[in-house]
Each structure stands twice: as structure tokens, then as C-alpha cells.
Amino acid sequence: MRIAILSRNENLYSTRRLKEAGESRGHQVDIIDTLHCYMDITRSRPAVRYHGEELPYYDAVIPRIGASVTFYGTAVVRQFEVMGTFCVNESVAISRSRDKLRSLQLLSRKDVGLPRTGFANKPDNIKDLIANVGGAPVVIKLLEGTQGIGVVLAETNKTAESIIEAFMGLKANILVQEFIEEAGGADIRCFVVGNKVVAAMKRQGAEGEFRSNLHRGGSARLVRLSREERATAVNAAKVMGLNVCGVDILQSKNGPVVMEVNSSPGLEGIELATEKDVAGLIIDFIEANAKPNNNRTRGKG
């Protein structure tokens, strides 16, 4: 098979591991810088061009689209879909997962466990907005934030009001969520491949840090999931329409709640914590599913 990885950096651990896993199984794997692709949009023969040449036919594309290039990256993925190329994660699914508000609304509609969340536009709604999610402490998030950036814990109602007013003054879009105190600064990253949780790790935030991101000093270890946690992760992936994703879950007194569904989850932390060949499992999924025009959305909006 011929496989393309859409990635801006060929030296990233995840990109390297996917290339190694594909080549070890006898496939040709090319790493393509997403922003250097450009599209030939024509009636009968749409194509993707790269460095002055038309790209050859690929049996599958693995999108590794960074949050900062979501708009252009999903346009490139959509062009491959129009051409009938199998895309591991499709453009519509990636866009859904990148829009925090939309993803929470979709998960809510399908009765997936979530922290209570508020979203508002006008400052005169602030007091009720905070009260509606249970009052302080609350977590305030920038809609466009990633990797824990733009996430603030407000421990009192007064502090929460001040932070929300400041963000609104900057015309930033924010979410206000209940703080799951019983999680103890830890979350569970469930790695889903093809409607199955193939690996899971528990991430613990550094002392004094409520965010569990590994690059912020957190630690990770192998964890055994409950049946409910496993089902929650799989359902969240299905709702988003993602074949490969990381689902971040908090353990609350009301059961597992989904914090985020990541369409380009890193492989380094999960492979080191679980000692599983997650990259190889992704290639296995491609081998079983990569057929021409085997895309659910086929390039549609």
C-alpha cells in the first residue's frame, strides 16, 4: 500500500512511529507537509499538488493536523476525500472535534457523560452562568485553547466573575465548566482505534497543578478501564465520527465524564506508559479498511 502522513514535522515522535510502523509492514509511507499542499479543484480530475508536482495516488492518508492549521488542513483532507482516497480521520470529524462547543453539544445530544458546561456572550449573564454549573470552583476555558493553554481554575465566584469579565473584554469565546474535584488533578487518556480502546493511561498533574498534561510536568501510568469508561470513550469517538482519537475522561462521582476528544493524539506518552505498539495498530486498521471511496462523508461539508 501507499500511505501519506499529513504532518508539518517529520521529526515528531508520532510521525516517525507511524512511518516506521507502516514501512515495517512493507508499505510505502510518505510524509507530506500539509501547508505545502495546494489543490487543483476541477470538474473531472481533482488533485493535490506538492512542490510543483501532482501527488501520486495514495491508498490511505493519515491526517496529523495541528490545531493552528485546522482550516487549511481540513481543506486538504477534504480534497483527498473528493479524490476517493481513504482518510483515517475525515475532515468533518476533525472539524467537529476542534470546535469545543460543537463537540460538547454533539456529545450531550447522544447522552455521553460530560461536566456541566455554560457558554454565554453578554457580561450581564455572568452570575447565573457560574451558578448554573454549580458555582465556584469552576474551570474557565478559551474555546481556541489547546494542550492546557487558556484553561484557568477559579476558586471563588468573585474570581470567576473577574476572569470571565476579562476574557469577555478581550472578546474571547469561553466555556465555563464545573470543577470535578474528586478527579484529584488526574484524567484518563483512552486511545481509540476503529471503535475499540486499544490503550489507556492515567495522567496525574504535577503537585499544585489541576491540569494533567504531560508536557506540563504530569506523569502517566498504565490503567485498567471499567466497562463504563471504555464504553464512554468508544461512544465519544463514534459521535465525533473519528476512527482514531484520544478521549480524555475524568472520573467523577456521577461516573466518567468526557473532557475532550482529540483527533490528532500524540503517540509518545501512550506508547511509553502502556508499552503497546499503538502506531502498528493504526496501520493494522488502515490495512483492514483502506478501500477507494470508503469515506463516510466523501468530501461533503
Give the CATH number, domain containing residue 197: 3.30.470.20
- The reported pLDDT for the residue numbered 208 is 58
Output the CA–CA distances (angstroms, integers) from residue 4 to 23, 32, 61, 114, 245, in the order listed: 12, 7, 5, 35, 18
What b/e readout covers 114-132, taking b as 16+ CB neighbours within 10 angstroms? bbebbbbeeeeebeebbee
For residues 161 and 3, give the distance between their C-alpha atoms in angstroms, rounded to a whole number.
50
Residues 49 and 128 in one domain: no
> Is pLDDT above 90 for 129?
yes
The whole-number pLDDT of residue 171 equals 86
Mark whether 162 and 188 lie in a shared domain: no
pLDDT at 301: 41
Say whether both 167 and 139 belong to one domain: yes
What average pLDDT does the structure give for the chain? 91
Domain assignment of residue 155, given as a range: 117-179
175 shares a domain with 263:
no
Residue 79 · residue 48 · CB < 8 Å:
yes
Question: Around Cβ 68, how many Cβ atoms within 10 Å?
Answer: 11
Is there a domain that residue 289 lies in? no
Report the CATH number at residue 171.
3.30.1490.20
The pLDDT value recorded for residue 60 is: 98
Q: Are residues 45 and 81 in the same domain?
A: yes
Q: Does 299 map to a domain?
A: no
Number of domains in the chain: 3
Q: What pLDDT score does 294 carry?
A: 85
Residue 59 has a pLDDT of 97
Q: Which pLDDT does position 300 carry in this prediction?
A: 44
What pLDDT, in 10s, does the model give residues 181-239?
888 889 999 999 999 999 999 998 766 555 555 555 577 899 999 999 999 999 999 99
Angle subtended at Cα 153 by Cα 105 and Cα 190, rounded to the nearest 5 degrees: 55
Shared-domain flag, residues 202 and 241: yes
pLDDT at 143: 81
Residue 13 domain-assigned (yes or no):
yes
Q: What is the C-alpha to C-alpha distance for residues 70 and 35, in angstroms, rounded to an integer? A: 11
Give yes or no: residues 243 and 261 share one domain: yes
Distance from C-alpha of 120 to C-alpha of 98, rounded to nearest angstrom: 19
**Per-residue confidence band for 296, with pLDDT thresholds at 50, 70 and 90:** confident
Q: What is the CATH number of the domain that holds 21?
A: 3.40.50.20
- Identify whether 263 is part of a domain: yes
Please state the rounded mean pLDDT for residues 42-49.
Answer: 90
Judge whether 256 and 187 are in contact, CB under 8 Å. no
User: Inter-axis angle of helices 13-24 and 278-289, to 10 degrees?
Assistant: 50
- Beta-carbon-side half-sphere exposure of residue 100 (alpha carbons within 13 Å): 25
Is 60 inside a domain boundary? yes
pLDDT above 70 (res 299): no
What pLDDT, on a 0 to 100 scale, did the predictor assign at position 298? 45
pLDDT band at 168 (very low <50, low <70, confident <90, very high): confident
Pair (195, 272) in one structural domain? yes
Instruction: For residues 48 and 78, state if they share a domain.
Output: yes
